[in-house]
Amino acid sequence: MNAIAKTSLYYSEGSSDKEYHAEIIEVAGGNVVNFRYGRRGASLTAGTKTSAPVDFVQAKKIYDKLIKEKTSKGYTHDVSGTAYQGTENAGLKTDFIPQLLNPITDDEAMRLIEDDAWAAQEKMDGERRAAHADGNGVIGINRKGLIVPLPEPIAAELQCIAANSGAIRIDGEIIGDILYVFDLHFHRGASLHASPWSKRMKLAQIVLFQCESIKTAPAAVNTDEKRALWNKVKAAHGEGVVFKRLDCPVREGRPNSGGDWLKYKFTESASCFVLEVNSGKRSVRIGLLDSSDHPNAVEGKMMIPTGNVTVPPNHAVPTAGDIVEVEYLYAYKGGSLYQPVYRGKRTDLDINACTTNQLKYKPEGRDEEDVEVQVAS
């Protein structure tokens, strides 16, 4: 029997530590929706929501309703089991447009390390997440500008700030139960968009100083600090470093080239489209849209298979149609990824982000080696 869709949920509060698993299984005559639940690590109770096979459309409705019911009761996809705030507004569009970054070369990164007009921060390996709190409550906002739930500890801390000081909006990266803030857009109900980034970050450090679930991302300002940060992130096999102009205002969207925020990645990664789950294996076949235009394809682009990636045991196996992040050493011409490593499902992107222009190809005539960038000390 093949699982067409599968979700694992967790709940942890006080002495309760529970897990819940739901899946759509393809069987003779259609599909069934099964579930398992119980205390984490113990034997689980199994059951079904379909007494007889149904078509996929009906099975998906039953499955989606089941997941919604469990998340509304505090279950979360996060293995920590931290409860998330209500999702009744999930999917609604906001006025938030994230400031996006263009990549830079080794030489450009070395120049910015020496340039006192630029600061550097570690590039976090999470999901982009803004958060807004005012008298009407707290909302999380994803990269698409859509409302998404926040872990309750983060929402509670933001609500406390808003209650005491007025509306606040922060921009950052969420990893597990922690929101790492790298910008402050509103404080005391006033927009800070025109203020220099360095001033916005200093204010964020003051405002968020006592928070436990919201932390400001440390910034390296002078050359020695930037050099030390570069070497630290690289030695820890971190994703990369982000450079930001100290005097820049908030600029929404991604510029055609350059910009006030730039990124350098030590490891290559690509957001890929899951074409199918490999039967009987913890691996999926992935693909990318060709950057060149093609008639009669997905929004004018042809889907190029880029190989398979194994899903480690600490991740749920994604389903066909999901977007996943895959780290790799380099890509071969044609799209195949060399040494792909599964990093997780992306919920903040859609298929239009899955293009071959993300790829860094193996240099012609270069041996299969990881070339390091040296930073003088």
- Residue ranges of domains in the chain: 2-72, 102-265, 268-358
Domain 2-72 belongs in CATH node 2.20.140: yes
Residues 6+ apart with CB under 8 A from 367: none
Residues 6+ apart with CB under 8 A from 285: 274, 275, 276, 277, 278, 305, 307, 308
pLDDT tens, position by position, for the chain (377 residues)?
Answer: 567 788 888 887 666 788 899 999 888 888 899 998 888 877 788 888 998 889 888 888 899 889 888 877 777 876 665 666 665 566 678 889 999 999 998 999 999 999 999 999 999 888 899 999 998 899 999 888 888 889 999 999 999 999 999 999 999 999 888 999 999 999 999 999 999 999 999 999 999 999 999 999 999 999 999 999 999 999 988 889 999 999 999 999 989 889 999 999 888 889 999 999 998 889 999 999 987 654 434 445 688 999 999 999 888 899 888 999 999 988 988 778 999 999 999 888 888 889 998 888 876 544 433 333 334 33
Q: What is the pTM of this model?
A: 0.66
The distance from CA 78 to its chain's CA centroid, rounded to whole angstroms, is 13
Residues 217 and 347: their CA atoms lie apart, in Å, by: 22
Nearest to 171 by CA among 117, 247, 94, 80: 94
Tokens of 269: 């990664």
Residues 66 and 104: their CA atoms lie apart, in Å, by: 45
Contact 16, 29 (CB under 8 A): no
Task: Please tell me the CATH code under which domain 268-358 is placed.
Answer: 2.40.50.140
Residue 50: C-alpha distances to residues 27, 47, 55 (Å): 12, 9, 11
Helix (H, G, I), strand (E, B) or coil at 333: coil
Per-residue DSSP letter, 353? G
Are 2-72 and 102-265 in the same CATH fold? no
Angle between helix 223-235 and helix 106-114 axes, rounded to 10 deg? 140
Domain 102-265 belongs in CATH node 3.40.50.300: no
